């Protein structure tokens, strides 16, 4: 996984509302725009379907931050894809979730993660370089290209489908249901906001 530094520094030309929003905050190229978004705090947004929500609420998740940069790329005609990947989230690759997982006797849990693909490289603008203590996510159980409009309900549906299969394949994880696993997942995500 590469950081925002892997993105090209192509200059932004006047275009749509997303481009205008970045130009208004003096971000004049793709790389500096991605760096700006990376530096915003992690946090859930009130509406994942609002194109500029990350900029208006000054926070975002892997879904909303990457969807914003993908929208910028669409307006600019840059070859950059938005990818949904499913992986096993552990404290090693997602620092901060360990205490929650251990509380339930788990070492990992299936998680959905959005990132970008540029020139065949996975690019994650939500993992700051300061998080080098975490292992990179290198193995994905599933990857697919999605549209920015799919970071809400569609992403959640795919995530629950894979989580349900994981619970089923593991014999119910000691009696856990899909609802239990989702509740644990929500606690893990909440722990990342602190």
Structural domain of residue 127, as residue ranges? 1-194
Is the pLDDT assigned to residue 194 strictly greater than 70? no
Residue 178's pLDDT is 86
| Tokens matching residue 143 | 């990857």
Q: What is the CATH number of the domain that holds 135?
A: 3.10.620
Q: Give the mean model confidence (pLDDT) for residues 127-150.
A: 80
Residue 113 near residue 94 (C-beta atoms within 8 A): no
Residue 78's pLDDT is 94
**pTM for the structure as a whole:** 0.90
Q: What is the distance between the alpha carbons of residues 25 and 7, in angstroms, rounded to a whole number?
A: 19
Half-sphere exposure of residue 125: CA atoms within 13 angstroms, side-chain side: 32
Q: What is the distance between the alpha carbons of residues 94 and 73, in angstroms, rounded to a whole number?
A: 27
User: Each residue of 58-89: pLDDT tens digit?
Assistant: 999 999 999 999 999 999 999 999 999 999 99
Number of domains composing the chain: 1
Is the pLDDT assigned to residue 172 strictly greater than 60? no
Residue 48's pLDDT is 87
Banded model confidence at residue 130, pLDDT cuts 50, 70, 90: very low
What is the residue whose two structure tokens read 């899909």?
178
Banded model confidence at residue 173, pLDDT cuts 50, 70, 90: low
Banded model confidence at residue 131, pLDDT cuts 50, 70, 90: very low
Helix, strand, or coil (residue 19) = helix
Q: Give the mean model confidence (pLDDT) for residues 120-125.
A: 93
Q: What is the distance between the alpha carbons of residues 184 and 174, in angstroms, rounded to a whole number?
A: 14
Q: Apex CA 192: angle with CA 178 and CA 42, to 5°?
A: 115
Q: Give the mean model confidence (pLDDT) for residues 43-55.
A: 91
What is the residue whose two structure tokens read 């489908």?
161
Is the pLDDT assigned to residue 189 strictly greater than 90? no
């Amino acid at each position: 996984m590469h950081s925002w530094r892997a993105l090209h520094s192509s200059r932004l030309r006047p275009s749509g509302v997303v481009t205008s929003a970045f130009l208004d905050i003096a971000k004049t190229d793709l790389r500096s725009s991605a760096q700006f978004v990376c530096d915003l705090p992690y946090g859930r947004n009130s509406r994942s379907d609002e194109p500029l929500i990350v900029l208006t609420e000054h926070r975002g998740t892997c879904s909303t931050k990457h969807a914003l940069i993908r929208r910028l790329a669409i307006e600019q005609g840059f070859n950059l894809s938005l990818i949904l990947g499913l992986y096993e989230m552990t404290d090693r690759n997602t620092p901060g979730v360990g205490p929650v997982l251990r509380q339930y006797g788990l070492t990992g849990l299936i998680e959905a993660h959005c990132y970008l693909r540029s020139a065949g490289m996975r690019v994650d603008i939500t993992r700051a370089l300061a998080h080098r203590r975490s292992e990179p996510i290198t193995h994905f159980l599933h990857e697919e290209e999605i549209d920015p409009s799919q970071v809400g309900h569609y992403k959640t549906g795919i995530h629950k489908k894979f989580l349900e299969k994981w619970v089923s394949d593991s014999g119910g994880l000691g009696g856990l249901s899909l609802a239990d696993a989702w509740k644990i997942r929500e606690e893990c995500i909440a722990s990342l906001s602190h």
